[in-house]
Amino acid sequence: MRIPSVSAEGHDPWMVRHSAEETAAWLERSGLQDVRLLDVPGAHPAVFGHTSGPAGSPTVLLYAHHDVQPPGDEKLWNSPAFEPTERGGRLFGRGTADDKAGIAVHAATLQAWRELHGGPPVNVSVFIEGEEEIASPHFREVVMHPEVLPELRKCIGVFVPEAGQDRDGGVEVLLGAKGVVELELVSSGEKWGRGPAHDVHSSLEAQVDSPTWHLVQALNTLVEKDGHTPAVEGFFDKVKPLNAVQLQMVQEHAAKTAESTVKQVLGVQHWVHDANWQDSLALLVSKPTINIEGLVAGYTGPGGKTVLPHRAVAKIDMRLVPDMTAADTLAKLQAHLAAKGFPDIEVNMSGGYNPTETDPNSKLIQAHLATYRRLGLDPQLWPRSAGSWPGCIFTEAPVSLPAGHYGLGHGAGAHAPDEYYLIESANPKVQGLDGAIASFVEYLYALA
């Protein structure tokens, strides 16, 4: 966690490689075999390894990632982002919850199993990505790697370890995730053929077009008057509405979860469209979105500076639901901009992938549910995560495996300041480090 393995562009790529090497060394020390870095040109390296259970036992793939989000504004952290610090039973630091504790906890468990019993009760392959936080631009290539694909084909499914308990100890079993497309929209005088080719004095705006106004006008076409619903032509064409079973899951979750707590945590007074709690959860699960992650143009420092910027950028993420695809949605966005009079605006996709769906009746998901129940919990089935992970690479052909998240424990603050992972729990319903390890142990016995 001291290694700033930030995969975002502009950070130090050698730190991600350093993190991959240290992760590989850790897996080797934990007794895994055939540990190797998977190097695909231009990609931050992934790590692959394997440990054997009894002959004839099934194989499960553990998927995690060793890259992390940028720390953001370090002034908002109560301790340095890359100096893991324990306070009040929590380990604070970037990557603690998302996703390095998951690697450490499971590697330590596998090591203990090997030392005590000669190995775990099933075969475990471990696959640790290095680009999850930048929307996995090379993930398909890595998975299709001749050293990886045959290993995956041996598996009964893919599980993503997580400290999955909420503040009250509850757990969800996710049956999928939204897909995502991350991209930059760039308006520039150069590409537009209007406005200046470099920043000029702002007084010239009387005589010269502004690429920034051009971007504002282009962005404005992307959502409806409600300031929210995507207005890209055909955006909803392939959207599959929630089925009765999924709606039932939403209804049950709404009934069991305190809206006021969620609103307080998010700092939200009203849901979008003034939806009620249940409807807002249905939107969360079922609505594809176009979000502005960031805006950058001209002078961005304190106060003002009288420039007419030659370039303006909007950082966008689009979240996709079945049966939308990343490629099709990107093409629709490009076609929309061209049709609305903005063919010059660059659409630079940096990463993304399709939505993920997994069969609730698969062995993997049934093992998740059974283990949680054996541990005394009442897992809630959830149609899909509103966040994204590249599970589609596992769930779609040619791999075609079930995939899902599993694990007790608690963490928070992913992508935000003061990210933490719970070590010692004060609440008997929420597991700390020991309980997280125990839940993994139970899970592998259930699979066996």
Q: What residues numbered 258-297 form the site for a second copy, per CB under 8 A?
A: 266-272, 275, 280-281, 283-289, 291-297
Q: CB of 393: closest distance to a second copy in angstroms?
A: 18
Judged by DSSP in three states, 181 sits in strand
Angle, CA 382 vertex, CA 376 and CA 290 arms, to 5°: 145
Question: CB-wise, 269 or 361, nearer to a second copy?
Answer: 269
Q: CB of 285: closest distance to a second copy in angstroms?
A: 8
Our finding on whether 196 is near a second copy (CB under 8 A) is yes
Question: CB-wise, 24 or 134, nearer to a second copy?
Answer: 134
**What is the DSSP secondary-structure string of 405-431?**
EE---BEE-TTSTT-EEESS-SSTTS-
Residue ranges in 28-67 that form contacts with a second copy under rule CB under 8 A: none
3: amino acid identity, one letter: I
Question: CB-wise, 8 or 37, nearer to a second copy?
Answer: 8
Residue ranges in 330-369 that form contacts with a second copy under rule CB under 8 A: 350-351
Our finding on whether 317 is near a second copy (CB under 8 A) is yes
| Separation of alpha carbons 427 and 429, rounded Å | 5
Distances from the Cα of 239 to the Cα of 217, 234, 242, 324, 442, angstroms: 27, 10, 9, 6, 37
Q: CB of 135: closest distance to a second copy in angstroms?
A: 7
Our finding on whether 209 is near a second copy (CB under 8 A) is yes
Containing 444, the helix (H) or strand (E) segment is helix 433-447
Question: CB-wise, 10 or 376, nearer to a second copy?
Answer: 10
Q: CB of 217: closest distance to a second copy in angstroms?
A: 5
From 362, 355, 371, 170, select the one nearest 253 (Cα to Cα).
Answer: 170
Residue ranges in 74-133 that form contacts with a second copy under rule CB under 8 A: none
From 125, 122, 128, 70, select the one nearest 99 (Cα to Cα).
Answer: 128
From 375, 411, 344, 445, select the one nearest 90 (Cα to Cα).
Answer: 411
Our finding on whether 189 is near a second copy (CB under 8 A) is yes
Q: Looking at 195, 383, 404, 409, which residue binds a second copy (CB under 8 A)?
A: 195
Q: CB of 383: closest distance to a second copy in angstroms?
A: 12
